Every structure is written in C-alpha cells, then in structure tokens.
Structure 1
Amino acid sequence: MKYLVLKSVIFLVVMFLGSFMANAQTMLDSAALGNLSEKDKPALLTQLAERSRIGGDYQAAVTRAKSSIGLALKFKNDEEATKAYTVLVNVYANTNQFALLKKTADTALTVAQRSRQPIALAYAYFAQALFYNAIDNNEQVTKYCQLGLKALEKKYDAYIIAKIYYQLYALNTRWDDVKNINKYARLAVENALKTTDYNLQSNGYIALSVAADYNYAGTKKEVFRDSIIYYLNKAQSLYLQYPKYVARKTYGIACINSADYYLRYFSDTDGRAKDNAIRYASMANEVMKGALNGEELRASGLGILSEYAKRDKNFVMAEAYLQEAYSLMKNQKVPYYYTLINVVNALSNFYEQQGNYEKALEFQKKATEYNSRLFAEKKTLNAQKLEVQYEAEKKNNEVKLLKQREKYARQQKYLYIGIAIASVLGLIFMFRSYHFRLRYSLQREKQLHLEKQDAELQMKFEKEEQARLKAEQLLLESQQQQLQKEVMANQLQLEHKKEMLFQIKEKLSYNHQLNINKIWNEELLLDHDFEEAKFQIQQVHPEFFSQLNQRAQQKLTSLDLKLCAYLHLKMDTKKIAQLMHIEAKSVRMSRYRVKQKLGLNKEEDLNLFLQNMV
C-alpha cells in the first residue's frame, strides 16, 4: 500500500512538473515566434498547430495553421503551406467536418502540384489519405499512401514517411491483417526514431504493442505477451522524459492499454498484475484531468478500476467508479457514445447482479436511448460521408472526363503535329534530296577539278623531275668537259715537255758544252707561264676548247688548240714561239691555218675572235 502511495506521489510531482514545463514551453514558443521574421514564422506556426491538434485544442490548431498558410503563401513557400494544410485536414478529420476536409485536402494537393516538390507532394497525398480514411474509402487510402511513399523516393523525409506508415498500420487493423500490422508498425517506428517528434515515436511504440497483442492472440507465446508491456513502457517513458513534447492523451492511451493488458491476460489471483493494472488506470485518470477531450480515457480507467473493485467484492467502490465514469461521459459537450454506452451497460449489469432491477432497467433504457442516438449520429455521419464521397467521386469523374478530353485533344493535337511533321519531313526530304544531288554534282565537279589539279601537279612534278635529271646530266657533262679540259691541258704540258726533251737531246748531240742549268731555268719559267695560262683558261673560260671544236669546220689538232689558248690569253708571237719552241714564222703560218679551220673571213681578226670567246 505504501508503495502505491509513493508511486502516486511521484506521479503527481511528475504531472505538476510536466504541466509547469508545458506552460513554460508555450511561453518560450511564443517568444521564439515573436523573434522570427514573417518569412521564417510558417514552419514554427505549423509545428505549434500540430502540437495543439494532438493536445485536443482544435481551435488553436486551426488558427495557427491558417496563420502559417497565409504567411507561407505570401512568401511563395508552397511546401510549408502544404504542411499547414495537412494539419487542417487532420483537424477536420478528427472533428468530422467533411466538407471542409475535402476542400482543404484538394487545396493542399493543388498547392503541392504547383510546387512540384517531392515533400510537398507527399504531405498532399497524406492529406488525401486522411480524407478518404475519414469517409471509410480504404482503397483510396492505400492508393494515396503509396503515392506519398513514391514521391519520397526522390527526397527523404522521415517525419512524413512515419506518418504514412502509421496510417497504413491503422488501416490494416480494420482488416486484422497481422502481417501488415507488424510490418507498418515497425516501419513507422523506424522512421519516427529518426525525427525529434517524441509524440510520433510514442504512438509508434503503442502501434508495436498492438501488433504484439495480435501476435500473442494468434500464437499464445509469452514472448509476444511480454512485448506488449515492453513497448507500452517505452511509450510511457517518452512522456516522462519529454512531457512538453508528448501529448497527455498519448500517454493516457499507453496507460489505459497497459491496465487493460494486465486485466485481460492475468488471472484474478495475480496480485502484482492487479497492482500494475490499478496503478496504470489511476495514472490515466490523473493525467487526463483537465485535458481537452480527456473524458473518454478517464472513463476507461474508471471502468478498469471498477472491475477490480468488483473482484475484491468492494461493490460500493465499483458503483462509485462507474457512476463517476457515467457523469464524465454524460456531461461532455459532444458525447462519445461508444464509451458512454459501455459505461451504461456496465452499470445496468452491475445493478442487475446486485438485484436492483429497477436501476438496472433504468440504465438499460438509457443504453437503448444512447444506442438510438449513436445510430442517428452514425446515420448522419454516413449521410455526410456518402454526400462527400459522392461529390468526391463526381469531381474525380469530372477530372477523369476532363483528363480524357484533354487526352483526346492531346492525341488529336499530336496527330495534327504528326501530319505537320510528316509534311515537313517530306519537304525536308525533297529539299535534302535536291540538295544532296546538287552537293553531289558540286562534289563531283570539285573532285574532277582536284583530279585535274593532281594531274597538273603530277605533270609539273614530272617536268621538274626531267629538269632535275637534265640538270644532273648537264652537270655530269660539265664535269666530263672539265675533265677533258684538264686532260687536254695536261696533254699540252706533256707535249711541251716531250718537245723540250727532244730539243735538249738535239742540242746535246751538236753542242757538248750546252748550259743545262740555263735551259732548266728557262724551262721552269716557261712551265710557270704555262701553268698560269692553263689555270686561266680552266677557271675563266672552262668551255673554251669545246666551243672551238664545235666552231671548227675542220678538226683542230692539239697544236692548234694550244695556239688558240695562247692567243686567247693575249700572248704575243714571240712568246708563243718560245713556248712552242718554233720560229715566229711558223707561229704565223699556224695562225693562218687555224683561221681557215674556224671558217673566219679574211677581214676577221683571229686574235679578237679568240679573246672574245666567253
């Protein structure tokens, strides 16, 4: 008993601190909002709107979301505007405002499509999923959730992915699809843990506890039963650690589920399970006191406490708990008939068991009355849902029709464009064909011109080659002539030496006292003169002897050529006679004979003719 009292004291302290910190956080958020520029306010306003929504303060959520939308659209921040529209959609879904719900969801989609941003589209698709979930169109919920996940393949956002997976988890609980319940609950938690949204994480852990409950119901394995309370404890720990970020309602649900877990799965004799169930039910009752729309959870907690009071035969407390729950539910502005009917039925059964049939009948009548009201409410809601669904389908059909017309118009447009393109292509083909033929003709003409140029170049190269060969031939002939000249000059010298030796021999035979030294010196002098003459003839006029031979009408002898060479060098008759060792008279005779061989007239001077040869 002391343990329970101590726990209750600690819990009340935590609650007080949580409430104080929440108020402090609200002031801090307001201060932070005041310090931001208008351009930066939409993001914080959207976060505050979502926090108000999960706290049950729908009016504040709508006000903040609309302020965020106004500023975001002013600065053309379509992504943030879509996020704020999604918060409004969630509020309208929670409050069954179907007309506003549809309109806001469509507006969010229009804004997101205009932005073409993946995250904005994901939020808009999530908003559509919330709308169709509210009107019980499960097929469309699945469709838009999948579209949202596909949009996020381009740009990752853990928060909205976790939201989408949580929606898919909730959808599959309607069908008791255990496999998908486990799958989507796990994916929701994995992505929620990558965010700093602790309320989202807490809801994810509650989803995992529900999945474990399904697993235990199907297998009866204790590991799954233990997992239920494990995940619920993690959800509760988040609230105790971050009370300003986790909604009291989320924490209250975790506590109620924990109490219900011990009530359903443990025997009446298990004292520890009983203590835990009472503790969690009491915590849920305390945490929801003063909370907006917290009566349902408080009534559920009181119902569990009443059940344990009946087990302990404490019928006074059992009745008191049920009466308190009935008072809470009855005084709601908008009664939640499901819980109210459960409480009234519990009271009717309690009084019937106690033998108080009058009160049992009274509460049974109330149960019938509330069932009638619930039926009427459901009927009204279903009518509204059907009306909205009809309008949605009508609009969707109109959109499909418009899209189909647009498709036909686009196909017709494509057909006309195709015909135009085909015509243009035909004209282009004809032009290209003409252009190709013209280009081919020009190219052919150019090729022929190039071939002609190549032929001319080839001819030029051949002529140049012939000229080069001719030049080489002339050079060889020149070299040959030069050699012939050298041979002729050497022959002249040799003949002169031979004649000199012959003269020396004759002189020696007639005069034994001949002065050899004198003759040798004279000969050296003559050799020098001859060498000089030979050099001048070869260097100044190398073709001299060949031209003489060509001009001569009769063949010139070596002595003739020698005489011509001396005359060309302007030597007088005396010197020529000394060089040739003949008389001057013989030189004159030789000149006359050469003149005749060269075909010169009597008037022409042989000396001038030879000296002018160049």
Structure 2
Amino acid sequence: MKHLVFKNILLLIWIVIGCYTAQAQSLLDSTALDNLSDKDKPALLTQLAERYRTNANYGAATVKAQQSVSLAIKLKNFTEATKAYAMLVNVYANTKQFALLKKTNDTTLSVGQQAKQPIALAYAYYAQALFYNAIDNNELVTKYCQMGLKMLEKKYDPYLTAKIYYQLYALNTRWDNVKNVNRYAQKATESALKTTDYNLLSNCYIALSVAADYNFAATKRELQRDSIIYYLNKVQDLYKQYPQYVARKTYAMACINSADYYLKYFPDTDQAAKTNAIRYASMANEVMRGVLNGEEVRASSLGILSEYAKRDKNTAMTEGYLQEAYSMMKDQQAPYYYTLINIVTALSSFYEQNGNYGKALEFQKKATAYNSKLFDQKQALNAQKLEVQYETEKKNNEVKLLKQSEKYAQQQKYLYIGIAIASLLGLIFMFRSYHFRLRYSLQREKQLHLEKQDAELQMKFEKEEQARLKAEQQLLESQQQQLQKEVMASQLQLEHKKEMLFQIKEKFNDNHQLNINKIWNEELLLDNDFEEAKFQIQQVHPEFFSLLNQRAQQKLTALDLKLCAYLHLKMDTKKIAQLMHIEAKSVRMSRYRVKQKLGLDKEEDLNLFLQKMA
C-alpha cells in the first residue's frame, strides 16, 4: 500500500511538472514566434496548431492554423498554406464539423495543386484521406493515402509519411486485417523515429501495442502478449523524458491501455497485475484531471478501477467510481454517449446485483434514453455525412464532367491542331509536289531536249553512216563495174587477138607469102584504137555496160557488148568490121540482133539509144 501511495505521489509530481512545463513551453513558443521573421512564422504556427489539436484544444488549434494560412497566402508560400489547411481539415474532422470540413478540404487540394510541389500535393492528398475517413469512405481513404505516399517518393518527409501510414493502420483496424495492421504500424513507427515529434512516435508505439494485441489473439503466444506492455511502456518513457512534447491525452491513453492489458490478460488472483492495473488507471485519471475534453479518458480509468473494486467486493468504492464517472460525463456540453451508456449500464447492473431494483431501473431507463440520444446523434451525423457525401459526389461528378469536357475540348483542340498540321503538311506537300513536278518537268524537258539532240546526232550519225556505207557500196559497185569493164575490155581484146591469130593462121595456110610486118603494124594500130576506145568507155561512161545489161531483155554476149561499145563511140560500120575482123554485113546483122535483145522497136535508132543511155 505504501508502494502504491509512493507511486501516486510520483505521478502527481509528474503531472505538476508536465502542466508547468506546458505553460512554460507555451510562453516560449509565443516568444519564439515574435522573434521569427514572417517567412518562418507559418511553419511554427502550424506546429502550434498541431500541439493544441493533440491536446484536444480545438479552438486554439483552429486559430493558429488560420493564422498560418493567412500569413502563408500573403507570402505566396502555398506549400505552408497547404500544410495549415490540412491541419484545419484534421481539426474539423475531429470535431465533426462536416460543412467546414468539406469546404476546407476542397481548398486544401486547390492550394496544394497551385503550389506544384510534391510535398504540398502529399499534404493535400493526406487531407483528402482525413476527409473521406470522416465520412466513412474507406476506399477513397486508401486511394489518397497511396497517392500521398507516391508524392513522398519524390520529396521524402518522415513526419507526413508516418502520419499517412498511421492513417492506413487505423483504417485496417476497422477490418481486423492483422497483416496490414502490423505492416502499417511498423512503417509508421519507422518514419516517426526519424522525426522529433515525440507525440507522433508515442501514437505509433500505441499502434504497435494494438498490433501485438491482434497477434496475441491469433497466436496465443506469451511473447506477443508481453509486446503489448513493452510498447506501452515506451510511450510512458517518452512522456517522462519529453513531457512538453508528448500530449497528456496520448500518455493517458497508454496508461488506460496498460491497465486494460492487466485486466484482460491476467487472472483475479494475480496481485501484481492488479496493482499495475490500478496504478496505470489512477495515473490516467490524474493526468487528465483539468485537461480540456479529458472526461472520456478519466471515465474509462474510473471504469477499470470500479471493476477491481467490484472484484474485491468493495461495493462502496465500486459505486463511488461509477457515480464519479457518471457525474463527470453527464455534465459535458457534448456528452460522449458510448461511454455514458457503458457507465449507466454498469450502474444498473451494480444496483440490480445489490438488490436496489429502483435505482437499477432508473439507470436502465437512462441507458435507454442515452441509447436513443446516441441513435439520434448517429442519425444527425449520418445525415450530415450523407449530405456531405452527396455534395462531394455531386462535385466529383461535376469535376468528372468538367474533366471529360476539358478532355473532349482538348481532344477537339488536338483534332483541330492535327487538321491544321495535316492541312499545312498537305499544302507543303502540294507545294513540294508542284515544285517537284515543275523541277521534274524542267528536268524532263531538258532530258527530252538532250534526248532529241542525241536522237538528232544519232540520226545524223546514222545518215552519215548510211552515206558512208552507200558511198562505200557505190565505190564497191564502181570498182566492180570498173573490174567488169576491164574484164570485158580485156576479153574484147583477147577475142580480137584470138580472131586475129585465127585469121593469120588461115591466111598463112592459104598464102605462105604473108607480109607479117604489115599485119603487125595493122594490129598495133587496131590495138591502139581499141585501147583508146576502152579508155573512153571506162573514163567517160563507167556505168555503160551495167545499164545495158539492166535494159536488155535477153542476155547480151561479149560480142554484143563490144559492138555496143563501138557504136557508143560513134564508130562506123567499116571501122567496127575492121576491129572485129568481120564483114560489114555481119556488123549490120549483129546490130539488128542487139536491137532485139534491148527490146527496141524497128523505128528506134540503136545508135541514138546508146548515146542517150550514156
């Protein structure tokens, strides 16, 4: 008993020190605020607002947050303004001021987007999570928490990271998701350890104790059970070490949980557990005495104390604790009906067990009345939530429609831009195509001109080649004709010689006394005449014999050609007879035969024909 009294004395000392330190710290904060430049004031004002909020002084918290907002907006520091607005969202969510909550939440998101900084957007998404948590939209709580964590990957802030993970932890306790409760409680604590916010770290330790409670319920392992008190003791150590930074309510909640731990998990016969439970419940009751909105915690501590008094069959203390709790709770301006119902139900049960059925009935009626008020309160809150949800859904739908309209407008804009670009590209293509066609046409015209020149040169070359070939052919024909003429002339001469030799032979046979010299001289003379005639025919009329052969209807013999040649040279019959060594009569007959071969009429003159042909 002395030990317990000593502990209580120490507790009172800690409370007094805590109160004094809190007052001193408030003065220090005011002095620090005055000494700061306007640029640094918003951050400190937001920190002060958070300190007031954690101590349930929501009025002061609202004032400080609004001051921070005004100054930050004035300085155009939208990141600090977003933090301050997020603080106001948290306050309005705690106090269930749904109309202000929605309006402030919308403003927070707008300012956060205006800041265009990852940390500002992270605070804005955290505020969204707080808002949707207040109106029980768990799906969107998770969504915005994840979005906030995504932003924090770009700009890490351990304080906000711990806050978001703590929010996810609290959400998963509603679903009894043991795995996620452990996961998020651990992550929240890891981030909180990197900060100097010892109240936040204390809350994270309480979260770990709750996770250990879940684990023990699932495994029944004593190690898990001992972890519960281990983490709660860490909160108490932090409060003793940093009383000015750990909220008294946070510390009191750790004490209540410790007392409940011993009440729940240890038998009635375990005196050490009983002593610890009474000590922690008493500490929670004393530390919250005089604290704004601390009645609920004190009522919980008195409920635990009444349970132990009941176990000791100390009816006076049991009734005293319950009546004190009831008296404290019913005088609240806004009673917490859950706790009130538990208290009056406990009193009704207590009086029933002690045979005081009148009071038992009285408190049972009060329990019914409080249940009715709780129901009405829930209905009113649900109506506000539904209204806010409706407004939010309506606004979200409007935003969606606006985004869709913007999307369609953007798509239409892109379409018009695409059409304009396509048109421009089409014009460029047409211009390039025209330019290309023009250039191609010019090149084609030039090419055609060159091809024409090439064709003309080719034709000229071909004509020249044809002329050359024709000239060569004519030369060959001329040479051939010349050869034919020479052959014919030589043949004429040879025939003449042959005839002359034949005549000499005949004359020699007839008359052995021939004058050889005379015959030789005559023959030389005839040879000269023949050579002269041949020369004239070859030089003056090279085509003579070919034309004769072309005109002749029957083939002309060599003698025929020789006769024509003599006639062409205008030799008389006598001369021709002498050259050919034939009678004049034979010459006339040969003339008639040649005329027939040439297809001349009787009236036509052979000599005149031969002259014209040349």
Q: TM-score, normalised by structure 2?
A: 0.71
Partner Cα separation in structure 2 for residue 271 and residue 52 of structure 1: 39
Matched residues in 2 for 1:420 and 1:245: separation? Answer: 64
Q: 1:410-454: CA deviations, max 9, x gaps? A: 11111111111111112223344566688999999xxxxxxxxxx
Q: Secondary structure at the match of 2:205?
A: helix
Shift of 1:152: 1.0
Partner of 2:211: 211
Name the structure 2 match of 1:111.
111
Residue in 2 aligned with 1:321?
A: 321
Following superposition, the deviation at residue 238 of structure 1 comes to 0.9
Q: 1:32 to 1:354 in 2, by over 3 A?
A: same
Q: Which residue identity does 1:319 align to in structure 2?
A: E
Q: Does 1:343 align with 2:343?
A: yes
Q: What percent of counterpart residues are identical?
A: 76
| Partners of 1:227 and 1:36 in 2: CA distance | 43
Correspondence 1:403 to 2:403: yes
Alignment of 1:421-436 (within 5 A): 421-433=421-433
Task: Please report how far the alpha carbon of residue 196 of structure 1 lies from its aligned counterpart in structure 2 after TM superposition.
Answer: 0.6
State how 1:193-272 maps to structure 2 within 5 Å. 193-272=193-272
Q: 1:441 to 1:377 in 2, by over 3 A?
A: same
Pick closer, same or farther for the CA change 1:416–1:249 going to 2, 3 Å: same
In 1: Cα distance, 2:42 partner to 2:415 partner: 47
1:10 CA displacement: 1.3
Structure 1 residues 25 and 408, CA gap change in structure 2 (3 angstroms): same
Give, in angstroms, the shift of residue 308 of structure 1: 0.4
Distance apart, 1:39 and its partner CA = 2.1
Per the TM alignment, residue 189 of structure 1 is displaced from its structure 2 partner at its CA by 0.5
**Superposition deviation, residue 409 in structure 1:** 1.2
- 2:183 aligns with 183
Q: Partner residue of 2:30?
A: 30
Counterpart in 2 of 1:125? 125
Report the Cα distance in structure 2 between the residues aligned to 1:143 and 1:428, rounded to whole angstroms: 49
Which residue identity lines up with residue 130 of structure 2 in the other structure? L
Aligned partner of residue 144 in structure 2, secondary structure: helix
1:40 aligns with 2:40: yes
CA distance, structure 2, for counterparts of residue 239 and residue 156 of structure 1:
27
Change (3 A) 1:421 1:377: same
How far, CA to CA, are the matches of 1:100 and 1:169 in structure 2? Answer: 26
| 1:384 alignment partner AA | Q
The aligned amino acid for 2:186 is: R
CA distance in 2, matches of 1:273, 1:133: 37
Question: 3-state SS of the aligned residue for 2:37?
Answer: coil
In the alignment, the residues of structure 2 paired with residue 432 and residue 160 of structure 1 have an alpha-carbon distance, to the nearest angstrom, of 60
**Measured at CA, do residues 407 and 263 of structure 1 come closer, stay the same or move farther in structure 2, by a change above 3 Å?**
same
Instruction: Report Cα offsets for 1:328-349 as digits up to 9, x if no partner.
Output: 1111111000001000000011
Structure ID, larger Rg: 2
Aligned positions of 1:160-171 closer than 5 A: 160-171=160-171
Aligned to 1:513: none
Q: Residues 223 and 421 from structure 1, CA distance in 2 versus in 1: closer, same or farther, beyond 3 angstroms? A: same
Residues 212, 442 of structure 1: alpha-carbon distance in 2 compared, 3 angstrom cutoff: farther
- Aligned-partner Cα distance in 1 for 2:58–2:136: 22
Separation in 1, partners of 2:2, 2:440: 110
Closer, same or farther: CA 96–431 of 1 in aligned 2, 3 Å: same
- Distance between the aligned counterparts of 1:86 and 1:49, measured in 2? 11
Correspondence 1:297 to 2:294 = no
Cα distance in 2 for partners of 1:64, 1:372 equals 37
Distance (Å, rounded) in 2 between the aligned partners of 1:443 and 1:354: 121
Partner of 2:18: 18
2:59 partner amino acid: Q
Paired with 1:83 and 1:279, the residues of 2 have a C-alpha distance of 39
Task: Give the count of matched residue pairs.
Answer: 445
CA distance in 2, matches of 1:104, 1:71: 17
Corresponding letter in the other structure for 2:70: G
Question: What do the CA deviations read for 1:510-538 (whole angstroms, capped 9, x no partner)?
Answer: xxxxxxxxxxxxxxxxxxxxxxxxxxxxx
Q: Which amino acid aligns with 2:420?
A: A
SS at match of 1:143: helix
Give the whole-Å Cα distance in 1 for the aligned partners of 2:361 and 2:118: 59
Q: Deviations over 1:35-68 (max 9, x none)?
A: 1122221111010011111111111111111110
Per the alignment, residue 282 of structure 2 pairs with 282
Q: Residues 368-407 of structure 1: CA distance to partner in whole angstroms, max 9, x if unpaired?
A: 0000000000000000000000000000000001111111
Per-residue Cα deviation, 1:4-37 (whole angstroms, up to 9, x for no partner): 1111111111111111111111111000101112
Superposed CA deviations along residues 148-184 of structure 1, whole A, max 9, x for unmatched, are 1111111101111110110011111111111111111
2:592 alignment counterpart: none
Which amino acid is the alignment partner of residue 428 of structure 2? I
Cα distance in structure 1, aligned partners of 2:57 and 2:378: 24
Task: Return the alpha-carbon distance in structure 2 between the equivalents of residues 362 and 81 of structure 1.
Answer: 52
Aligned 1:520-531 pairs, distance under 5 A: none
SS at match of 1:39: coil
Q: Tell me the amino acid that sits aligned with residue 364 of structure 1.
A: Q
Q: Counterparts of 1:417 and 1:117 in 2: how far apart (Å)?
A: 31
Distance in 2 (alpha carbons) for counterparts of 1:40 and 1:103: 27
Query: Partners of 2:242 and 2:443 in 1: how far apart?
Result: 85
**Aligned mates of 2:58, 2:102 — CA distance in 1:** 18
Q: How does 1:25-104 map to 2 (within 5 A)?
A: 25-104=25-104
Q: Please state how far the C-alpha of 1:254 moved relative to its aligned partner.
A: 0.3
Give the gaps of 5 or more residues in structure 2: 445-614
Quote the RMSD (CA, aligned, Å). Answer: 1.7
Question: Which whole-Å CA distance do the structure 1 matches of 2:442 and 2:3 have between them?
Answer: 109
Equivalent position of 2:2 in the other structure: 2
Work out the CA distance in 2 between the residues paired with 1:228 and 1:61.
32
Q: Partner amino acid for 1:347?
A: L
- Per the normalisation by structure 1, the TM-score is 0.71
Residue in 1 aligned with 2:540?
A: none
What secondary structure, in the 3-state scheme, does the structure 2 residue paired with 1:307 have? helix
For residue 162 of structure 1, give the secondary structure of its aligned residue in structure 2: helix
Report what 1:312 is aligned to: 312
CA distance in 1, matches of 2:33, 2:5: 41
Are 2:139 and 1:139 equivalent residues in the alignment? yes
> How far, CA to CA, are the matches of 1:223 and 1:393 in structure 2?
47
